[in-house]
Amino acid sequence: MDRYWCLLEASLRRERPDVLADLNPAATKAELERLQARLGAALPADFIACLGIHDGQKGEAGWLFEEWEFLSARRIAEEWSIWRQLHDAGDFDGNRAEGDPGVKALWWSRRWIPFASNGFGDHLCLDLDPDQGGEAGQIITVWHDSDRREKAAESFREWFAAFVASQG
C-alpha cells in the first residue's frame, strides 16, 4: 500500500493539494483493534495497511475517491452502526435485493463494511460475507435506495490500485 499512497500523494500534491491536506494521519494500532472489535470482524490486511498510512479524511475538502469520501476508522464504525441499527429495527424487512455473481442478494449484511460514502447513505463496502464464487474482501456498492448490489473489485488492493492509476 505504501507504493500506491506515494503515487497518490504525488498526484494530489500536484492536482488537489486541499484533498492531500484533508487526509488524516495514520490510524493507530489501538484504533484499528477497536474498529475490528466493534465490527466483530477482522479486516483485510491490505485495508488495515491503507488505514495505517492515512485514516480517512477530515471531511473539510473535496472527496478523495471522486464522488466518495474516504472514511476514517471512527466514521467506518459510525456508518456501519447506522446500517446495523436500521437492520435491527426491521427497516429492511421485506426489501429484496439483487447481487452480482459472488455478492449475496441481501439488502444489508453486518459483514459489509463501509469505507467510502457519498454523503447520501450510499457506500463502497468491503464484503466480508461473499456469496458462492465471491472473495472475502471484495469491494461492493451498497445504495440505500436501490436493490442492486454490485461488485466493484475482487479486493481492496485491486480497487485502490485502479483508483490510483486513474489519477495518473
CATH number for position 103? 3.40.1580.10
φ/ψ of 159, rounded to 5, equals -65, -45
Q: What is the mean pLDDT of each run of 10 residues along the chain (168 residues)?
A: 96 96 98 98 98 97 94 98 96 94 96 97 97 97 95 98 93
Q: Are 139 and 152 in contact (CB under 8 A)?
A: yes
pTM summary value: 0.95
- Domain, as residue range, for 126: 2-166
Total domains present in the chain: 1
For residue 125, what is its C-alpha cell?
463496502
What is the radius of gyration, based on Cα positions, of the chain? 16
Cell 495514520, residue located: 26
Q: Please write the tens of the pLDDT for every residue from 77-106.
A: 999 999 999 999 999 999 999 999 999 999
For residue 63, what is its C-alpha cell?
472527496
